Amino acid sequence: MSEPEAVVERAVERLRPLYKAASLSWWDANVSATEENEQRRVAAELALSDALADADLFGDIATARANGAEPLVRRQLDLLHASLVPQQVPESLRHRIVELEASVESRFAQHRGEVSGRPVDDNEIKRILRESDDVAERREAWEASKTVGAAVADDVRELARLRNEAARSLGYRDWFALAVDTSEMDETRLFETLDECDRLTVDAFAGWKAATDARLAERFGCTVAELRPWHYEDPFFQEVPAAGGVDLTEVFAGKDVVALARATYDGLGVDTNAILDRSDLFPRDGKCQHAFCIDVDREGDVRVLANVADDRYWADTMLHELGHGAYDIGFDQGLPWLLRDCHLTVTEGIAILMGRLAQDAEWLREVVGLESADVERLEAGLRAAQAAELLVFTRWVLVMTNFERALYADPEADLNALWWELVSRYQLVTPPDGRDGPDWAAKIHVACAPVYYHTYLYGNLVASQLRATLDRVAGGLVGRREAGAFLGEQVFRPGQSLRWDRLIEAATGEPLTATHAARDIAVGLAS
Ligand SMILES: [Zn+2]
């Protein structure tokens, strides 16, 4: 065994059991949120984080990389290096960051804004913004959604300073540069792609928004110029107002959403039974309310947590999570442990590609069994709704990513003003008159999932690009075993043996581009 191989083996021996323990305790804490499970989860995560912070291990990896190794070993060393770099900061600083993050996160969980003197959670705020025709009440609900920002803003700013201190001690310009670099992205390329997304969506968004604003002005009996953030349905306007979508309530009522998802993957020749058997799929007290898929051991123990109901949202979510799962069980099991993994942009791309089927005409006909006439009636609306979602989401990511770059460039800047400048520019939303509050801090990702949002946008670009390839090589996706075989061979099997951007280029014949997503938007809006 060569010295570089020995370094990899030592690292894996150390990390593998810690990774599995952290995965299992994460699963347990989400399935049943007891005090004991929560303590075990924190302990397991700290143990993993301490191992990743080991300076001797990091030194061995750096030396082995510098001395050169054959490609698959080099690839493993690169992945190890990227996971260990962010942890190579003085322990006191690392722990301060972890503790402050945990404190901000728990304040987000506990904080409740108030409407008419009563505390309201996020669901209630969203309900008011969806249903209420009372503009004063809407405004109160929107204001309530921002109060958490004021409660945590000083600490979020402090987190940015601490993260910058950590990044600079490692030779990076700031935390933004470190985060992008250690996730195998290139900052110049990232902003070229974001600029491309901006250019390709700016006119379509302005047109769509003008039509939406006209409808909203009519609904609320005001002029378009009088519309403010609380006239939209999502507190950040990151989602399409329901009026712009298609109502599929009747279509999914009484349907077995899990069986539909299983049948969808069966149609691709992907057997998801092993995943579903280990999964926890229905609502229960004391259980996490969201959904996720986890690969516990990279040896086939893949599970989904969900809270399935018979509606479009959960159909989309089950298809989405099983997309992550199909990827995880599809790695070439002959690959080394470190390479039986995937990059976030690609696994999100697969999951988004599959989740989109819940609004796909062919899927509704072939898998759900809807009558052709009903599907035809819905088809144009479905395409338009998907296009609007992608459009609105793209503009929102432009706000988030540009804001985060500016935040880490200068945490002392006038962030309140900068936030509204970006919201006005990219989302075309008029700020409330004289607004000067830390509305940026009300978005939990800024504090707790820093420099991550662009991953969701990349996932959408990957989904559109893969879909175009599948249409070309397999004639589509739904019920096509050739499409499943293509994804299995070209995307799943290689795992992390090659970088995500090269994987996309190899699978689709071109580097990642926004043109396929832009075409999906144009086709949808034209229908
Ligand atoms: Zn996902």
Beta-carbon contacts of residue 78 (< 8 Å; ≥ 6 apart):
65
Please name every residue paired with 280 in a beta bridge, in sequence order, or none if there are none.
305
What are the pLDDT digits (tens) for 307-335? 999 999 899 999 999 999 999 999 999 99
Dist. CA 463 → ligand 1 center (Å):
12
Q: What's the CA-to-centroid distance between 378 and ligand 1, angstroms?
A: 26
d(CA 301, CA 97): 32
Q: Ligand 1 centroid vs 121 CA: distance in angstroms?
A: 24
Give the pLDDT confidence score for residue 309 in this predicted structure: 92
Give CA separation, 147 vs 71, 159, 236, in Å.
51, 19, 14
Which residue is it, tokens 């301060």? 96
Tokens 């940026």 map to which residue?
440
328 CA distance to ligand 1 centroid (A)? 12
How far, in Å, are 1, 2, 81, 338 from residue 70 at the CA level? 12, 10, 16, 15
Residue 379 Cα, ligand 1 centroid: separation in angstroms?
25
Whole-number Å distance between alpha carbons of 349 and 332: 19
- The token pair at 211 is 């039509």
What is the whole-number distance in angstroms between the Cα of residue 476 and the centre of ligand 1? 22
Q: How far is the CA of 293 from the centre of ligand 1 (A)?
A: 8
Residue 448 Cα to ligand 1 midpoint, Å, equals: 17
CA dist 264 and 396 (Å) reads 31
**The pLDDT of residue 239:** 86
Q: Where are the alpha helices (DSSP H) in 53-134?
A: 55-67, 71-84, 91-110, 122-131
* pLDDT score for 243: 63
Ligand 1 mean position, distance from CA 322 (Å): 9
Q: Do residues 437 and 416 lie in contact, with contact meaning Cβ atoms separated by under 8 Å?
A: yes
Q: Give the span between the Cα atoms of 26 and 20, in whole angstroms.
A: 10
pLDDT of residue 285: 83
DSSP string covering 140-190 = HHHHHHHHHHHHHHHHHHHHHHHHHHHHHHTT-SSHHHHHHHTTT--HHHH
DSSP of 484-521, one letter per residue?
HHHIIIIIITTTTSS-HHHHHHHHHSS---SHHHHHHH
Distance 345 CA to ligand 1 centre (A): 9
Distance 305 CA to ligand 1 centre (A): 12
Distance from the alpha carbon of residue 290 to the mean position of ligand 1, in angstroms: 11
Distance of CA 278 to the CA centre of its chain: 23
Residues of the chain short of pLDDT 50, as ranges, are none
**What's residue 488's pLDDT?**
98
Q: How much distance in Å is there from the Cα of 183 to the middle of ligand 1? A: 17
Ligand 1 mean position to 261 CA, how many Å? 15
| Dihedral pair phi/psi, residue 292, rounded to 5° | -160, 165
